[in-house]
Structure 1
Amino acid sequence: MTTYHFVGIKGTGMSALAHILYDAGEDVQGSDVKKTFFTDAALKEKNIPIFPFSKANIKEGLTVIAGNAFKDNHEEIVEAKRLGLPIYRYHDFLGQWLKKYKSIAVTGSHGKTSTTGLLAHVLSQIHPISYLIGDGTGLGHHDSKYFVFEACEYKRHFLAYQPDYLIMTNVDFDHPDYFTSIDDVFNAFQEMAEQVKQGIIAYGDDDYLQKIQAKVPVVYYGFSDTNDFQAKNIIEVDEGTQFDVYVRHHFYETFTIPMYGNHSVLNALAVIALCHYEGIKPEDIKHLSTFTGVKRRFSERTFNEQIIIDDYAHHPKEIEATIDAVRKKYPERKITAVFQPHTYTRTKMFLKEFAETLNLADEVFLCDIFGSAREAEKKLTIEDLQALIPNSQLLSMNSTEKLKDNSKGVVVFMGAGDIQKYQQIYEETFK
């Protein structure tokens, strides 16, 4: 039996795929840097061996799966080529693996991970399924009825997939280090739509998604009455958010989700539409109400009377959605936003928009920009963003104590870099 070796096993997609292969009975190992990531614990729980990067890890008999963050000149990839081993890039291997199942891809500029997690949760209460979520979690089953997975548009990697179904949450301009414009982003989504085999579930209030052309039916969901699936009568309740669903103007069912904010209703509506299309009964879809969330998406902890939230938001639209959810869940509390910009290119592109959305919080702290090694543009500094946000303060590893001033409020840590280290140091001050 072959052993699968993951180059960069701690990456979110890579670790999720490693879990899937392990659960399916395959031999799995991997390599990565020594630094601890939030994906480490689950890999160690399964005793999946993780080695420091070294060409000595690469031996005869391995099949190598390389993370997209690593170039062809990485020592392990070079050694695998020298030995003539099978080498796959993450998205290419996944594209082959999912052909065994009825596959449901979830893509979009925002909301992919939460929607994938929600769909996997609902379907797994009804059938054995496999899933791969962008928070690093994955599950494999021999007799899966469905394979639910997150499909990332970055560098058009999702074009390696030909899913049966595709959920499209929205089209927005992001990854400015790769995409040249919003039209370039849309063209990538259009290409992806052409590869779908059975049906597309798309957010209908998005002007770009309204233009999608496909060879399969496109079912739309959203708030406006032009959608096939419409959410109406949305109210905040103690358990979260309650709303009615209308299917082509006819009342279908009332659902409750344990989340807040319009974006959460939309994610749930996408799942409801897909399940309805697959003939799943409303009472089974109501497993939505027991969803506990995905990692780094509105993850909450309480210290004394202060609530601390960790969220992956790293684009202005995501920051806006996160702060909106906090306001709806905790309307009486003061909100402190702690934000670490992710990449110089994104920070430069959305500087003004970052300032506008962060201003929705009551208080703002900014951490140094988390840059990428592949970026040339590094002239920008965090002070450039601070200048656009009145009364904002800079936060260093040594000054996290300041956050205690909002003792009865909510502190939201947001970012896609290593902002958890600031949160970790801050939480240590409570011990």
Structure 2
Amino acid sequence: MTVLSRPSTGPIYLDYNATTPIDPAVTASLLPYVSDEFGNPSSGHHYGRKPRTALAAARNRVANLIGTSGQRIVFTGSGSEANALALCGVVRAAAVERPHVITQCTEHPAVLESCRALERNHGVDVTYLPVDGEGMVDPAELTAAFTSRTVLVSIMSANNETGALQPIAELARITHEHGALFHTDASQLVGKLPVDVVALDVDLLTMAGHKMYAPKGIGALYVRAGVSLEPLIHGGGQEHGLRAGTENVAFAVAFGTAAQRAAAALEAGEPERLRRLRDRLHDLLREALGDRVMLNGPLRSRLPNTVNVSIDGVRGKDLLAEMPGLAASTGSACHSGQAHPSVVLTAMGLSGRRASSALRLSLGRWTTGEDIDRAAEMIGSSVLRAARVSTV
């Protein structure tokens, strides 16, 4: 895959898990569908033909990225909407009195808040599984949580803060043995590592365009054949009858192009390139700061682009404020500006002090070795400068 030039200048960007820049090739692909090819894809006349064809092609490209067919892809307005459709759709379609759902305590807020809404508004019972010190779910804990009323398990594929990769195929197998459906929020995984929904044996899988170089405002839900969902939005029957409303053709085309480019990047070895840069960043920080740098999450079973470290003696929020030349985060972008430590890190058993000292550094398509060297030097210098000031 040809890697185009960096889309913008400014601070070093190491916050790809929050959102990705739109790939220039993706932008180019969507422009005709906000200008000349403006037609409604449901229209039978001339102006509807190209949008309809483009929408079908985009659906197939997204499907190809995860090893399925376009008939199984439902475009949504975001990953959060796809999660809500999966959770609420299964529960509302279930022929079970007081359905039971199982998830984990470190899920993205899009899943956790959907579960809480189901508890609050629909009388659903929800079990929130704990995680261990690396953020991993114990399959035995899942097995023990099932009841005769369990209709759905929802466990994210890759954690957005630590990059921890859950054993999705094993968890899906256990779920099916107990007669329930399995959903995974794979927004952080798809495009970063190969994904095959057949091998994973999942029933529902969430994707988000803005996590893979497409615009914000487009997501998708994979729905396995035979899975019954109650739509959140009723109307004209678009998206296989699961999401009414005239389709956002331009952003669907963008998502399709992004999926096509992601497949090419995976084939070209992008995960290994990012893994090398990620480990180089971690090693440079350890060289500069020694044992003050503590990795949060698993060493091996994590996304190739993600390193979450706590640096003893300095709050992550304060450190970032001292480095205007680096764009990174202390955790999920959905919690930015909040004073309390990361829910994910505290659920892993980390102290409030260590959780407050965390930095999430996530790499992507335009990250270079020079970026990594400069970021490591910037972080190391800022930490050492803060230590000197504190001793004066």
> What TM-score, normalized by structure 2, do the two folds share?
0.31
| The structure with more strand, counted as a fraction of residues | 1
> What TM-score, normalized by structure 1, do the two folds share?
0.29
